[in-house]
Amino acid sequence: MTIPARIRYTLYVQPIDLPVFNPVALEVLGLLEDPYTDILDVVRLIGEDQALTAQVLRMANSASYAGRSRCETIKNAAIRLGARQMSNIAMAASHASLHASDSPLVNDIMQDLWLHSHACALGCRSVALSTGQHAVADKAYLAGLLHDIGKLYILKAMDHISQTMDVKHALERSLLQEIFSEMHVDLGCRVMDHWNLPSVYRDVAAYHHAEQCDSRNILLTIVRMVNFNSRNFHLNIYPTLGETGGDHAETSPLFMDDVSWTKMEDAMTASLIHFT
């Protein structure tokens, strides 16, 4: 299906500040760029947003993150999980809540997209930890979570456009998938630039479908491999047409062994049975 020119034009020129990030979660992310950030700063910032606090606690106590004891407060959770993991959960919890729409079709696709993004976040963190890349495990989580941010932007934008333009015919699954395939990388980069996200995440958004992968970029390598394999676990309902990486080209520089594969699969499929 061809993307109507009017829709293509509108997607590229309309204001970019649609809510694809929670401002508080972005502030938390900013804190993490400072190596001297105190865990209490993260606790205070999350605590300023009641809805975010509730979402973070719910997620921290869910199957993929919970320890033996339940966390009743953000401070408990931060002490148990550490500032970085806590911040990642804040980003993920806020991100989950943005995947909602009054349009049943858009809402349905958003839920699939959330499952995919969250599974990739968990998978990327697992791969980093199991292949000796501990230093980038938290960044790998965020890179996995945000690699398809362009798709969320497209869904928000199409929702917006459908209320202001006569594009009812456009809200069809096949057309949305075509827009994903053609535009989600470019629009993901625009969103990252607009919100001034660190370049490591922008690079992942920019090159996660590129034909050639620079294996020296370990975050990109991890995301590409996990993203591709998400299809094996039915966690990528809308793969990008012509998606590359089918020969697991990224596996060898990561030194994945059987244990790494199993851990990755367990981490990704855990996202199917809890917090949505």
Instruction: Provide the minimum distance between the beta carbon of 117 and Fe ion in the complex, in angstroms, as a whole number.
Output: 7
Yes or no: say if 1 and 174 are a contact pair by the CB < 8 Å rule: yes
* ∠ Cα 274 45 201 (to 5°): 65
Q: How far is the CB of 205 from Fe ion (least distance, A)?
A: 8
Task: Tell me whether residue 161 or residue 188 sits nearer to Fe ion (CB atom).
Answer: 188
- State in angstroms the smallest separation of the CB of 180 from Fe ion: 8
Q: Return the number of the residue (31 or 245) whose C-beta is nearest Fe ion.
A: 245
- Identify which of residues 53 and 209 has a Cβ nearer to Fe ion in the complex: 209
* Shortest distance, position 58 Cβ to Fe ion, whole Å: 24
Query: CB count, 10 Å around CB of 84?
Result: 17
Nearer to Fe ion, 28 or 158 (CB): 158
Q: By the 8 A CB rule, do 103 and 159 touch?
A: yes
Can you tell me whether residue 19 is helix, strand or coil?
Answer: coil
DSSP characters for 14-73?
A: S-S-SSSS-HHHHHHHHHHTSTT--HHHHHHHHHT-HHHHHHHHHHHTSTTT--SS---S
Q: Which residues contact 199 (CB under 8 A, 6 or more apart)?
A: none
Please give the C-alpha separations between residue 71 and each of 8, 32, 46, 80, in angstroms, as whole numbers.
Answer: 46, 22, 15, 8
Whole-angstrom distance, CA of residue 145 vs CA of residue 192: 13
Q: Kindly report the number of other CB atoms within 10 A of residue 95's CB atom.
A: 23
A 10 A CB-CB count for 265 gives: 15
Within a 13 Å sphere around the CA of 38, how many CA atoms are in the beta-carbon half? Answer: 4
Report the residue number, 81 or 154, with the smaller CB distance to Fe ion. 154
Q: Shortest Cβ distance from residue 252 to Fe ion (Å)?
A: 21
Tokens of residue 264, six digits = 């990755």
Task: Output 130 or 230, the one with its CB closest to Fe ion.
Answer: 230
- Residue placing its CB nearer to Fe ion in the complex, 90 or 183: 183
Q: Which residue has the tokens 């990755």?
A: 264
Closer residue to Fe ion, CB minimum distance, 247 or 258:
247
Give the shortest CB-23-to-Fe ion separation in angstroms.
24
Q: How far is the CB of 268 from Fe ion (least distance, A)?
A: 12
In the three-class reduction of DSSP (H, G, I as helix; E, B as strand; rest coil), residue 192 is classed as helix
Cα 130 from Cα 132, distance rounded (Å): 6
Q: How far is the CB of 275 from Fe ion (least distance, A)?
A: 19
Q: Residues interacting with Fe ion, by CB under 5 A?
A: 148, 227
